[in-house]
Structure 1
Amino acid sequence: MSKTYGTGSAAVPALRDVSVEFAAGALTAIMGPSGSGKSTLLQVAAGLDRADTGEIVVGEVELSRLSETRLTLLRRTHIGFVFQAFNLLPALTAEQNVSLPLRLAGKRPGRAAVRDVLARVGLADRARHRPAEMSGGQQQRVAIARALVTRPAVLFADEPTGALDSVTGREVLVMLRELVDRERQTIIMVTHDPVAASYADRVVFFADGRPAGELLRPTAEAVAARMTGSGALAC
């Protein structure tokens, strides 16, 4: 697939003939320097933006063939997305924030289901708390619960620990790892942090809009070494 922003002399290629697959039931990290295309890849793969050419397949559904209405419905029911910013509504409680995707999809959220997903992220006792009454790590856990409440086929995470301190960030990473190991949740995560990437089963490096190599069973030291010196292009 390819994706270019702008036209003519102002055109900026973001993805250049990319062909990459992500394993189900695994945590894959995407890394690369600024402008390498990693965030664009995440947005296109999640159906938040459209590729100019090529196919995007989630499960057995090819996204480019969907109308905007069907694509919106797919995102609400089969795709979860977690951002660096928590994007919680401050006036709502944790359980109300978590239930939003179901309400937007026209479904009546069951309290038991909402409480269950909060328990899965370790916040069973915070259901009635509003964002201002929770720490940053707890707010990100609510955001992850909100993404999981529809039982998505894949969870996309864009710098999910970027706004957290190292201790809180580690707690979130442990939780994501447990979701993969315990529930076989498929997670694709963009990160700049070698420590975060070390929680992944596989790291895919991007440079100049293309995959530039990968690491399996990565360590933080191996990722850092790959990202420094000759950088991701040496993969």
Structure 2
Amino acid sequence: MKPNAVELRAVSRRYGTGDGGVPALDHVSLAFPTGTFTAVMGPSGSGKSTLLQCAAGLDRPTSGSVTVGGTELTRLSETKLTRLRRERIGFVFQAFNLLPSLTAEQNVALPLRLAGRRVPRARIREVLQQVGLGDRAKHRPTELSGGQQQRVALARALVTRPEVLFGDEPTGALDSRTGREVLALLRGMVDDDGRTIIMVTHDPVAASYADRVVFLVDGRVGGELTGASADVIATRLTDLTGLTGLTGLEAVPC
């Protein structure tokens, strides 16, 4: 049995205080085994992004615990938490967040430079080659397509050899063909390299690339599917979305 790369135990996150407080997560317990690809889905306002932020150490839960690779994040100081994120966690977002004045290889090297670490040129070229951009190292973002820019962002996330890669709608800004190429790349990183990926998405096609799809409803786990097709995932999501009109989920942060 594979060890867990990330574990959430009874995690709650509440925004605001008193009667005006809004619960985004409500006692969520989840485990993400090492070397697996998990998609997190749910209706708007179900707590998807809050879950990702708490799991990745970008936000602290109001209660409960989060563990990454055996390290409990909720016990760490801000300095140690920042170091852990830099060294052990990778992030890919819908926005590519590349610096326009830097080349692809300079953008990829940025996390190492910010951490005050040596930047081995061979490692930069290695991750660019891994995402299919070995011949684009000297190109700036304006000289790259949207899909290529997202590949640079992915290489930047991988350069520190993170234990877990978190994606927040990583294909949301891409056309369907380019999105599928990026998703196939992510799938290969799990199958070939044993990478652990946790991805928030609204797209059933994107979620179908994952081993498991976890659904959130009203800040709670609302079930999961394993090895499901895009059609099956879409049907389950439609059913859950129908419930939101009854529960007032639209008032909860996503």
Match of 1:2 among 12, 17, 29: 12
- The residue that corresponds to 1:63 in the other structure is 73
- Which deviates further from its counterpart, 29-38 or 221-230? 221-230
Q: Which ranges of structure 1 fall in alignment gaps of 5 or more residues?
A: none
Match of 1:203 among 213, 221, 229: 213
- Which deviates further from its counterpart, 5-14 or 197-206? 5-14
1:184 aligns with 2:228: no
Match of 1:157 among 154, 167, 170: 167
- The residue that corresponds to 2:140 in the other structure is 130
User: Does the Cα contact within 8 Å between 1:205 and 1:232 map onto a contact in 2?
Assistant: no
More strand by share: 2
User: Does the Cα contact within 8 Å between 1:30 and 1:204 map onto a contact in 2?
Assistant: yes
Offset, 1:108: 1.3
Q: Which ranges of structure 2 fall in alignment gaps of 5 or more residues?
A: 1-10, 244-254
Residue pairs, 1:26-45, within 5 angstroms: 26-45=36-55
Q: In 1, distance between residues paired with 2:230 and 2:238? A: 12
Q: In 1, distance between residues paired with 2:31 and 2:68? A: 10
1:146 aligns with 2:156: yes
User: Does the Cα contact within 8 Å between 2:217 and 2:240 map onto a contact in 1?
Assistant: no
- The residue that corresponds to 1:98 in the other structure is 108
Match of 1:25 among 32, 35, 38: 35
| Corresponding residue pairs, total | 234
Offset, 1:23: 1.4
Q: In 1, distance between residues paired with 2:167 and 2:36? A: 13
Displaced runs of 4 or more, over 2 A: 229-233
- The residue that corresponds to 2:22 in the other structure is 12
Offset, 1:231: 4.4
C-alpha change, 1:232 and 1:47, in structure 2 (3 Å) is farther
- The residue that corresponds to 1:213 in the other structure is 223
User: Does the Cα contact within 8 Å between 2:43 and 2:240 map onto a contact in 1?
Assistant: no
Offset, 1:9: 2.4
Offset, 1:41: 0.4
Offset, 1:230: 5.0
Offset, 1:129: 0.4
Q: Deviations over 1:60-104 (max 9, x none)?
A: 110001000000000000000111000000000000000111111
Q: Deviations over 1:130-155 (max 9, x none)?
A: 00000000000000110010000000
User: Does the Cα contact within 8 Å between 1:206 and 1:232 map onto a contact in 2?
Assistant: no
User: Does the Cα contact within 8 Å between 2:25 and 2:50 map onto a contact in 1?
Assistant: yes
Provide the alpha-carbon RMSD of the alignment. Answer: 1.2
Offset, 1:229: 3.5
Supply the AA of the counterpart residue of 2:63: T
Using the size of structure 1 for normalisation, the TM-score is: 0.97
User: Does the Cα contact within 8 Å between 1:213 and 1:232 map onto a contact in 2?
Assistant: no
Using the size of structure 2 for normalisation, the TM-score is: 0.90
SS at the partner of 1:82? strand
- The residue that corresponds to 1:83 in the other structure is 93
Q: In 1, distance between residues paired with 2:206 and 2:111? A: 27
Supply the AA of the counterpart residue of 2:207: A
User: Does the Cα contact within 8 Å between 2:89 and 2:162 map onto a contact in 1?
Assistant: yes
SS at the partner of 1:140? helix
